[in-house]
Chains A and B, each alone.
Chain A
Amino acid sequence: KNQVEQSPQSLIILEGKNCTLQCNYTVSPFSNLRWYKQDTGRGPVSLTIMTFSENTKSNGRYTATLDADTKQSSLHITASQLSDSASYICVVSGWMDSSYKLIFGSGTRLLVRP
């Protein structure tokens, strides 16, 4: 079964600290993996997109890693800011049953406290 599991479900950190969010997937065949940030009441915004050949990709203070062998990805946030408080969603895509499908993780809710 094609699944995307994220951990932790929620996380509270102090402003300025670093944190790492995890995404494990069983989607096969794999096309690419995306990380999104979703503020409450807003649409998700893309942070990174990686194909199977990419191991790491950065976007400012956000760095995503991908291990296609173990089917794991992580999103590392450096020097967290209050504005980082949001849900972070991992999305894995691939061609399944002759159609392009996106499998969403349930997200990690991050709260950054002053």
Chain B
Amino acid sequence: GAVVSQHPSRVICKSGTSVKIECRSLDFQATTMFWYRQFPKKSLMLMATSNEGSKATYEQGVEKDKFLINHASLTLSTLTVTSAHPEDSSFYICSARDRTGPGELFFGEGSRLTVL
């Protein structure tokens, strides 16, 4: 079946550094990818919608200068957490929508970010 690969799965960084998370659709093309944040025992919170070749659309309350999203190709989107702080520690998940058929949505395995 379709696979969405997220990398890295875990990352620990120092406060003030920037971290990049990649989201790749491995066997399908995705014109639209989504980035989510999830706190323990809470539901997924949509951060932004990433469209290939255009600027991402951010949800209300999400700082676009803090969370930089790039969707350079039909199979790759990246999320960069800039100048990370401990409160940015969270589980970040991406999903990709297959551009063919009913547009099924596939999720990555998530990336756990810990900012010290």
Contact = CB atoms under 8 A, between A and B. Distances in A.
Contacts of B110: 41-43
A91 interface: yes
Interface residues of A, number: 25
Interface string B25-54: 000000010100000010110100100000
B115 interface: no
Main secondary structure of the interface of B (DSSP, over half): strand
A102 B57 contact: no
Nearest to A32: B102
Contact of A106 (B4, B43, B97, B103): B43
A101 B97 CA distance: 11
A93 B98 CA distance: 14
Contacts of A41: 91, 110, 112
